[in-house]
Amino acid sequence: MHKTERPLLPTSFGERLLKTFASSGQLCVGMDPSVEQLKKWGLPESAAGAEKFCIQMIDNCVGEIGLLKPQVSFFEQFGSEGFAALERLLVRASEAGFIVIADAKRGDIGTTMDGYARAWLSTEGPFVADAVTFSPYLGAESLDPTIAFASRNSKGVFILAATSNPEGKVLQSSVSENQRSVASNVASYAAGFNKESMGSVGLVIGAQANLIDMAIDPKKLIHTPILAPGFGTQGAKLSNARSIFGDLADVTIYSVSRSVAGESSVGLRERVQIAKAELEIGLSR
């Protein structure tokens, strides 16, 4: 692909996130062009179909919200053509003014992790994203170089902590040698980077996660951005946002995907507006 002129990022990811919250709210729309979703929309099961789906998602979110979250696996399934489509879509979303969180869930050590960082967190890399999701399960501290790299490039990192899938609870609630749950240790690790205002090292905490069971203290995470899947089709209601996240409600990004994508592109903007209004109600309670 031709080299794209990148906008300068003079502020930290956390600072940009706060500004987006103030101007556009805390709703994030996921771009998930799964084969099933493409079938619903009558689109080809190909990179071209995924790109067409996401173009409509981006264009119908302009002026409504400020956060988008493409699920990388749904582009990877189409190989090099899928990744090329993703590159173009990331540029489109960035140029439209969105904060883009690439849901890639990368995680490794050493030079392998350096490669992921250069791909996703460099201002010169192929993928234009403001933040990326990472897995800490090779040891949270294995992310130290990645977080340092992200910080130098004014990018953000979201670390999986207490996810919304039921299978995750066995591992994430397990107690480590320091008598704290794995999720609690991950949360403390992330919080250590965020000393004031909104930090740039966030956590993925699903709407279905029980913070008490995980021994996660919300009061220690008030400067840590939270990426929260699990709303809409997965069961949690945006109208219950504050009751679900309590002290963390105002630092949380509320993500919806399938419930907004719907059965077709018809009414897409209206579904985004409905979700945004529901979240506003949930945060006002």
Q: pLDDT tens for residues 100-128?
A: 999 999 999 999 999 999 999 999 999 99
**Predicted local confidence at residue 4, as pLDDT:** 47
The per-residue pLDDT of the chain, averaged, comes to 95
Prediction pTM value: 0.95
Query: SS in 3 state form for the chain?
Result: CCCCCCCCCCCCHHHHHHHHHHHHCCEEEEECCCHHHHHHCCCCCCHHHHHHHHHHHHHHHCCCCCEEEEECHHHHCCHHHHHHHHHHHHHHHHHCCCEEEEEEEECCCHHHHHHHHHHHHCCCCCCCCCEEEECCCCCHHHHHHHHHHHHHCCCEEEEEEECCCCCHHHHHCCECCCCCEHHHHHHHHHHCCCCCCCCCEEEEECCCCCHHHHCCCHHHHCCCCEEECCEHHHCECHHHHHHHHHHHHHHEEEEECHHHHCCCCCCHHHHHHHHHHHHHHHHHC
Quick one: average pLDDT of 26-47?
99
The confidence band for 1, taking pLDDT boundaries of 50, 70 and 90, is very low
Quick one: average pLDDT of 156-171?
93
**Predicted local confidence at residue 8, as pLDDT:** 54
Tens digits of per-residue pLDDT, 243-279?
Answer: 999 999 999 999 999 999 999 999 999 999 999 999 9
**Predicted local confidence at residue 2, as pLDDT:** 42
**Predicted local confidence at residue 87, as pLDDT:** 99
Q: Nearest 10 degrees: CA dihedral of 80, 120, 207, 41? A: -30
The confidence band for 196, taking pLDDT boundaries of 50, 70 and 90, is confident
Distance from C-alpha of 280 to C-alpha of 117, rounded to nearest angstrom: 35
Distance from C-alpha of 241 to C-alpha of 282, rounded to nearest angstrom: 5
Tens digits of per-residue pLDDT, 12-24?
Answer: 999 999 999 999 9
**Predicted local confidence at residue 177, as pLDDT:** 85
Distance from C-alpha of 20 to C-alpha of 88, rounded to nearest angstrom: 23
Quick one: average pLDDT of 199-207?
98
The confidence band for 182, taking pLDDT boundaries of 50, 70 and 90, is very high
Look at residue 155 and tell me whether its pLDDT is greater than 70: yes
The confidence band for 176, taking pLDDT boundaries of 50, 70 and 90, is confident
105 is catalytic: yes
Homologous superfamily of 13-284 = Aldolase class I (3.20.20.70)
Look at residue 158 and tell me whether its pLDDT is greater than 70: yes
Tens digits of per-residue pLDDT, 74-90?
Answer: 999 999 999 999 999 99
Query: Which residue in the list 40, 105, 220, 237 is annotated as catalytic?
Result: 105
Quick one: average pLDDT of 61-73?
99
